[in-house]
Amino acid sequence: MDVLMPQLGETVAEGTLTIWHKAVGDTVENGELLFEIGTDKVEMEVPAPVSGVLAAINVEAGVTVDVGTVLAVIDDGKSDAATPATSTSAPAPVAVPAPAASSEPARDPSLRLSPVVRKLVAENNLDPAHIPGTGRNGRIKKSDVLAFMRDAPAAPGQTSAPAAPPITSPVAPPVAPVAALKSGAGRTVIPFNRIRQMTAEHMVRSKTVSPHVAQGVEVDFSRIDKVRTEKGAAWKAREGFSLTYLPFIARAVCDAISEFPNINAHVEGDNLVVYEQVNLSIAVDLNFEGLVAPVIRNASAMTAVEIARAVADLAGRARSGQLTQEDHQGATYTISNNGSFGTLFTTPIINQPQVGILSADAITNRPWVVTVDGEDMMAIRPVGMLTQSFDHRAIDGAYSAAFLRRLKEIIETKDWRAALP
């Protein structure tokens, strides 16, 4: 059975095999840890898909390959995979040994670093030998580096000796360009890192494939704001994180999609594939180093409370490098939340192959016309823009506008107090 490089996310086209935990000829059990992979977005342990004998390893540790590349072959007794003793592709064992450690210090397996960890170590001038690892066999994870930097602020003064050369990355030090600017050179060239390269490729492809149209509505968030004011302190004390507008917006999106299901779809060839279940992708910024969009599965069956907890969990794991392969897959609609930066509106780019994406921007107090006893008057209300980009191949402007109108109605009229304990 062929073992493939898995898809680590809808916008990720390649990954780096960081370490093998088995050698050619070893017996493996279904679900047993086989190897580890990583990108600038996520690092992940990958188990064996079947039980059998590892017949061949085609990709050495430290090598970056495209998604779908055959990394290894497991002889499960059912396929045509050759055993180590009879393999005609005898060179396969050659791919296993020492070279696997060439991209990391051979003296200590725990110092074999994933791409995301290498990047952090290089940017902060750290010596990985001083960082305690909590991963398998003492390997250093992203969360270990972040904890080390938090608990030992003086450590960045250390230098990274043998690990420095293999860690080198085009993005590694954004510090160097600053020095160049101070020297009076007049410009700085910053090569794209892997996240930026993949994001750029995906964005260009999306704009090329989908005819984008953007529409927006202004929404009065008074009802949600009152709930946040009344219950926010108790919520934070109980849950450990703030109660934001996002889970309410997400719940309202699911309600509106139930009436306008064609928004919750993918384009495949000349077909629109509409999904009953809303798998909601939430864009998460990684401290300006890139963007990921992990998925809340079956958000349509969740309450606003459950969505709030799911958002907090995914955002926390995204920023600590703990997302899994499944966290990136299966999204049917996306929400991008830029409101914390004070933006008035954003026209987001569709996350392929979806047909719609919503941007939630800043909610601020503004003059607003309200009707009281049949008369219009001015009031100050918390108002914000919700902007949707949609694929004009899949839906028309009237359908998108009707969806946004319904979304606005739900947010402005629903009894949100009943949604929270």
How much is the pLDDT for 266?
95
CB atoms within 10 A of CB 303: 13
In angstroms, rounded to a whole number, what is the distance separating the alpha carbons of residues 221 and 86? Answer: 69
420's tokens: 């929270």
Instruction: Set out the domains of the chain in order of their start, with CATH numbers.
Output: 2-101 (2.40.50.100), 111-191 (no CATH), 210-419 (3.30.559.10)
- What residue type is 127 in one-letter code? D
In angstroms, rounded to a whole number, what is the distance separating the alpha carbons of residues 209 and 351? Answer: 11
Instruction: Please indicate, yes or no, whether the overall pTM of this predicted structure exceeds 0.75.
Output: no
Strands (E), 226-331: 265-268, 271-274, 280-282, 284-285, 291-292, 295-296
In angstroms, rounded to a whole number, what is the distance separating the alpha carbons of residues 395 and 405? Answer: 15
CA distances from 350 to 1, 266, 353, 410 (A): 36, 11, 8, 24
How much is the pLDDT for 346?
94
Using DSSP, how many helices (H) and how many strands (E) does the chain show?
Answer: 9, 18
* Cα distance from N-terminal residue to C-terminal residue, the chain: 50
In angstroms, rounded to a whole number, what is the distance separating the alpha carbons of residues 185 and 177? Answer: 10
Report how far Cα 295 is from the mean position of its chain's Cα atoms: 8
How much is the pLDDT for 286?
77
In angstroms, rounded to a whole number, what is the distance separating the alpha carbons of residues 376 and 1? Answer: 71
How much is the pLDDT for 242?
94
Helices 397-413 and 222-239 pack at an angle, to 10 degrees, of: 70
Query: Dihedral, CA atoms, 173, 65, 351, 247, nearest 10 degrees?
Result: -70
Q: Which residues are catalytic?
A: 392, 396
With H, G, I as helix, E, B as strand and everything else as coil, classify residue 107.
coil
304's tokens: 């606003």
In the block, residue with structure tokens 């180590």: 84
Query: Dihedral, CA atoms, 352, 395, 399, 211, nearest 10 degrees?
Result: 70
CB 336 within 8 A of CB 359: yes
Question: Over the chain (421 residues), what is each successive 10-residue block's mean pLDDT?
Answer: 77 76 90 80 77 92 85 82 40 39 44 69 79 76 76 48 37 42 64 78 90 97 96 94 96 97 94 96 83 92 96 90 86 92 93 95 94 90 97 96 98 92 74
In angstroms, rounded to a whole number, what is the distance separating the alpha carbons of residues 300 and 278? Answer: 5
In angstroms, rounded to a whole number, what is the distance separating the alpha carbons of residues 357 and 350? Answer: 6
How much is the pLDDT for 133?
81
* Burial class of residue 187 in the structure, from the number of CB atoms within 10 Å of its CB (0-12 exposed, 13-18 middle, 19+ buried): exposed
CB 294 within 8 A of CB 284: yes
How much is the pLDDT for 219?
97
In angstroms, rounded to a whole number, what is the distance separating the alpha carbons of residues 420 and 235? Answer: 9
CB 218 within 8 A of CB 362: no
With H, G, I as helix, E, B as strand and everything else as coil, classify residue 291.
strand
Query: What does the DSSP 8-state code read for residue 354?
Result: B
Closest-CA residue to 394 (of 279, 276, 272)? 272
In the block, residue with structure tokens 């430290």: 62
How much is the pLDDT for 339?
86
Q: What angle do CA 162, 318, 364 make, to 5 degrees?
A: 130
With H, G, I as helix, E, B as strand and everything else as coil, classify residue 361.
strand
